């Protein structure tokens, strides 16, 4: 499996840390945790954030054969915590946006599944990606005018349905399946997640009963775990339970999958931020 698109340094001023993140990046790591060979194709800068992202991918065993390293600043977002939930207060795409070339397509043709999403800027090249392999796409909570024109290119459609009631989730699932995907996955936040297939199978699993420290990356963990399980041919009930378990683990630490680093003394990622001492969690030490 390969993921294409966004990566970001999630910056927590209150902790004095940055953490690797981004949907495509997070999903790749979760797939690898699920025991499936995984590669990430994206672009990072030559700054501290880029180094942190590259080191984290290496530590997690994710292949980075086609990772672009571009002179400049990596993408970042500034995160504030409100209880266990997170709020993005600033961002910059940096060097993260790019266009796939013929060498990228040749590389991606070796994989049986490709994941990308609404934050990756890959919409114009989805047809090319769909010709190469089964395509997973995270539509997040984008409106119907965004996702409807893209669904016929997608094998597994992923949505965030935490703002929908159960009837709304069922309606979204039905409309998506009728448009072409074989699998529709809807994460419902504290209500858990639901997976439905074109063959008529539906499984809903409740979220683990926890008090979250930080929900950032939990939905991506669900997507990656489900992808890994589907690619391995796992039973849907088992893989959905595994997805909820990893999501709960993600909610127990800051950052999407740990690997926190102290913000650089120069504060060059966010204007006005100076040196901080990183509050470590999830067993990761800053470089």
Confidence of residue 286 (pLDDT cuts 50, 70, 90): very low
The sign of the CA dihedral 265, 271, 276, 282 is negative
- Which pLDDT tens digit goes with each residue over 235-245? 999 999 999 99
Q: Say whether 260 sits in a helix, a strand or coil.
A: coil
Q: State the first-to-last Cα distance of the chain, in angstroms, to the nearest integer.
A: 29
* Chain Cα centroid distance, residue 79: 16
CB 145 within 8 A of CB 230: no
Confidence of residue 14 (pLDDT cuts 50, 70, 90): confident
- Which pLDDT tens digit goes with each residue over 87-120? 777 889 999 999 999 999 999 999 999 999 999 9
Q: What is the reported pLDDT for 83?
A: 65
For residues 93 and 42, give the distance between their C-alpha atoms in angstroms, rounded to a whole number. 12
* Percentage of residues of the chain with pLDDT beyond 70: 91
pTM, full prediction: 0.91
Following DSSP, what letter does each residue of 155-181 receive, concatenated?
A: SEEEEE-TTS-HHHHHHHHHHHHHTS-
The interaxial angle of helices 218-232 and 23-33, nearest 10 deg, is 50
Q: What is the reported pLDDT for 270?
A: 52
For residues 137 and 141, give the distance between their C-alpha atoms in angstroms, rounded to a whole number. 12
Q: What Rg, from alpha-carbon coordinates, does the chain have? A: 18
- Domains of the chain: residue spans and CATH: 2-262 (3.40.1190.20)
* Chain Cα centroid distance, residue 114: 13
Q: Name the phi and psi angles at 148, rounded to 5.
A: -60, -40
Confidence of residue 84 (pLDDT cuts 50, 70, 90): low
Structure tokens at 118: 């609404």
CB 265 within 8 A of CB 69: no
Q: What is the reported pLDDT for 273?
A: 46
- Which pLDDT tens digit goes with each residue over 21-53? 999 999 999 999 999 999 999 999 999 999 999
* Chain Cα centroid distance, residue 101: 22
């Amino acid at each position: 499996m390969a993921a294409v698109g966004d990566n970001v340094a999630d910056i927590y001023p209150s902790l004095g840390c940055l953490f690797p993140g981004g949907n495509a990046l997070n999903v790749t790591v979760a797939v690898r945790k699920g025991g499936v060979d995984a590669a990430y194709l994206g672009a990072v800068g030559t700054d501290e954030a880029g180094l942190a992202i590259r080191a984290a991918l290496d530590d997690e065993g994710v292949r980075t054969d086609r990772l672009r390293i571009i002179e400049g600043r990596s993408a970042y977002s500034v995160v504030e915590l409100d209880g266990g939930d997170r709020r993005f207060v600033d961002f910059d795409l940096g060097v993260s946006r790019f266009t796939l070339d013929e060498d990228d397509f040749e590389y991606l043709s070796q994989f049986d599944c490709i994941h990308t999403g609404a934050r990756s800027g890959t919409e114009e090249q989805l047809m090319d990606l769909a010709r190469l392999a089964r395509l997973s796409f995270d539509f997040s909570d984008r409106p119907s005018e965004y996702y409807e024109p893209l669904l016929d290119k997608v094998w597994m459609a992923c949505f965030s349905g935490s703002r929908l009631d159960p009837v709304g989730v069922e309606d979204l699932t039905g409309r998506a399946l009728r448009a072409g995907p074989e699998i529709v996955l809807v994460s419902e936040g504290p209500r858990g997640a639901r997976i439905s297939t074109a063959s008529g199978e539906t499984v809903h699993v409740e979220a683990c009963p926890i008090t979250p420290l930080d929900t950032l990356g939990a939905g991506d963990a669900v997507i990656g775990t489900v992808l890994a399980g589907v690619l391995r041919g796992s039973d849907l009930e088992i893989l959905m339970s595994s997805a909820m378990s990893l999501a709960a683990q993600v909610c127990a630490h800051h950052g999407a999958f740990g690997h926190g680093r102290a913000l650089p003394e120069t504060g060059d990622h966010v204007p006005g931020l100076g040196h901080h001492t990183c509050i470590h969690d999830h067993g990761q030490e800053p470089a």
